[in-house]
Amino acid sequence: MPSAVVLLADGTEEMEFTITYDTLVRAGVQVVSAFVPAQSPGASVSPPAAKCSRGVRILPDSYLDPTECGPDKHDLLVIPGGAVGAATMSANATVQKLIQAYLDKKKYVGMICAGSLAARTAKLPKQPITSHPSVRGDLEADFEYSEDPVVVSGTLVTSRGPGTAFPFALTLVELLCGKEKREEVRSPMVFPTGTPF
């Protein structure tokens, strides 16, 4: 059974976190959330509830721990957006190293919205990418920027924002579990007729 780590920080965009997490769970993926603190958690044992970008509080499963969140234990690392949360994650050296480790081992990394800034801070090579329009200027010089809702470049998957969270999550399901599982998960969600994903 595939497994995934979805990162969470203060300021994370709620929809991008919850839609991705929930959709993966519906596909049978074992999902764990890991809190990325703005500063070192020190000796803390229990992570605090993250206060997301619209004030919703989410209790993560654990703190970010490279020994528990690496590609030797999981198949997918997800970095949601939300300006403040994405800034915390993209500046975190452990997150940067994990991104590189996942991609080096041909494991999947998903970035959505401002979460795509982590591609730059992790010093990924020039390749197709997308993001929220507000951070396009930070990325287009170093990457092949696209305005497609979801961009797959090898095992890096990027997307644009809250409105593309469902196609982003369903793409991750397809990559991890296959097209049949994607449709099995998508169908009971009852998207309006003609929805292009």
Residue numbers annotated as active site: 16, 113, 132
Q: How far apart are CA 71 and CA 21, in angstroms?
A: 18
Of 14, 17, 56, 10, the closest CA to residue 37 belongs to 10
The 10 Å Cβ neighbour count of residue 47 is 19
Tell me if 76 sits within 8 A of 4, measured CB to CB: yes
- What is the 8-class DSSP label of residue 192? P
Tokens 């999902």, residue located: 31
Helix, strand, coil percentages for the chain (3-state, nearest 5):
40, 20, 40
